[in-house]
């Protein structure tokens, strides 16, 4: 079993930030009302001002540091995870500049899909086993507005299932802490479930009106928008509801009912409900955020915790399950102390010095 166990790493804070702009999904003017109902998304926070996960991550980590009384100079490690690139320089480097962090603070970017929570936590916890690394931060952030050619296309698009967000976890190495167990899995054959034709160098010269995807699906720009991001929702939903639930039953059995709350990847209503139904979980313990924030990618379980449990006044044992294209998936078994979870902040912050200005001839 690919299980990593840590009993000397304490989770000190969990925070999140989203753009201030809210887009309501108006079913009264849509021709796909049935699909909208299946997704369960009523609104999403989406940037109209070219915010990136860097700005959202900056606000979330500043709030987290203030929550625990740390200074940015206290951090020995920062990992920034995003599956969509904001800048040619990694967000970790830019965040090091804006916070700022000490030059000797270890920083790097990690690229994971919607399975990011257990994977990035495992990386940070492993670094925290080193004697000179005591305090760490992980930032999980993604924005999707840049997939569209302009604001009008973004607001009119029927691809409403993703929302912009960033979430932060502060970690500290201590002598003893509640157990933090992480389970990691991957199956590279699932690459065809999520595919972006323009990502990387392989298809850099290929800009067609229509695309034949790895799974045989045919799509054109007119249906998909400016920058095509393909996701096979049926197979991902089937995997999350069937394969993952079978595996969880095999590993945990009836002990899966022992947790106080469940925070799953918020892909959509179907994924969350089917997984909860297959595991026979009490509805009141299954936390959601897709209704208000849509699919917030890799950080969605953390956004969900902040949305539903901010200011929680008692210790809580949490089971989290994450899955994403690639294909990767994993689970977190963690106990969060009172006051660890902070609220979701809304922000209009924009680092204007990172915007290129047009020069008139």
Residue 139 · residue 79 · CB < 8 Å: yes
Which residues of the chain are in CATH 3.40.47.10 domains?
8-178+343-354, 181-339
Strands 9-19 and 341-347: parallel
Gap between the Cα atoms of 141 and 190, Å rounded: 22
pLDDT recorded at residue 240: 80
Give the Å distances, CA to CA, from 69 to 119, 135, 324. 27, 13, 34
* Mean pLDDT of all residues in 243-264: 96
* Mean pLDDT of all residues in 91-113: 96
Strands 22-24 and 43-45: antiparallel
| The two three-digit tokens of residue 17, written as one number | 């930030």
* Mean pLDDT of all residues in 75-97: 93
Of 21-25, 211-215, 222-226, 326-330, the least confident: 222-226
Give the Å distances, CA to CA, from 84 to 135, 142, 144, 198, 321. 26, 6, 8, 12, 21
pLDDT recorded at residue 70: 98
8-178+343-354 maps to CATH 3.40.50.300: no
Residue 254 reports pLDDT greater than 60: yes
DSSP class of residue 67 equals H
pLDDT digits (tens, 9 = 90+) for 138-170: 999 999 988 887 888 888 766 688 999 999 999
Q: Hey, CA dihedral for 324, 329, 330, 331, is it positive or negative?
A: positive
pLDDT digits (tens, 9 = 90+) for 281-298: 999 999 999 999 999 999
What does CATH list as the number for 181-339?
Answer: 3.40.47.10
pLDDT recorded at residue 221: 56
DSSP 221-240: HHHH-SS-EEE-HHHHHHII
Residue 29 reports pLDDT greater than 60: no
């Amino acid at each position: 079993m690919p299980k990593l166990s840590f009993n000397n790493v304490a989770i000190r804070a969990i925070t999140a930030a989203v753009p201030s702009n809210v887009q309501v999904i108006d079913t009264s003017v849509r021709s796909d009302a049935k699909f909208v109902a299946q997704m369960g998304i009523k609104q999403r926070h989406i940037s109209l001002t070219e915010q990136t996960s860097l700005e959202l991550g900056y606000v979330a980590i500043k709030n987290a540091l203030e929550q625990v009384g740390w200074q940015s100079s206290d951090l020995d490690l920062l990992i920034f995870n995003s599956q969509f690139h904001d800048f040619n320089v990694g967000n970790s480097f830019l965040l090091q500049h804006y916070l700022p962090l000490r030059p000797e603070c270890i920083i790097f970017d990690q690229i994971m899909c919607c399975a990011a929570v257990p994977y990035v936590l495992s990386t940070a916890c492993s670094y925290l086993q080193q004697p000179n690394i005591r305090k760490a931060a992980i930032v999980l952030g993604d924005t999707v507005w840049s997939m569209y050619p302009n604001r009008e296309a973004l607001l009119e698009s029927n691809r409403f299932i993703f929302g912009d967000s960033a979430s932060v976890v502060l970690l500290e190495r201590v002598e003893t802490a509640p157990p933090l167990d992480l389970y990691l899995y991957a199956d590279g054959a699932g690459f065809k479930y999520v595919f972006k034709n323009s990502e990387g160098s392989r298809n850099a010269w290929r800009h067609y009106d229509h695309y034949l995807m790895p799974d045989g699906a045919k799509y054109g720009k007119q249906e998909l928008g400016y920058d095509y991001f393909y996701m096979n929702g049926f197979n991902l939903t089937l995997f999350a509801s069937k394969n993952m639930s079978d595996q969880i039953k095999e590993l945990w059995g009836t002990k899966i009912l022992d947790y106080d709350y469940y925070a799953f990847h918020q892909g959509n209503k179907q994924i969350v409900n089917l997984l909860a139904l297959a595991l026979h979980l009490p509805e009141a313990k299954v936390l959601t955020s897709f209704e208000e924030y849509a699919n917030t990618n890799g950080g969605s379980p953390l956004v969900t915790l902040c949305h539903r449990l901010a200011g929680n006044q008692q210790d809580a044992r949490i089971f989290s399950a994450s899955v994403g294209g690639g294909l990767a998936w994993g689970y977190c078994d963690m106990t969060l102390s009172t006051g660890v979870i902070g609220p979701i902040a809304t922000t209009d912050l924009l680092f204007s010095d990172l915007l290129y200005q047009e020069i008139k001839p």
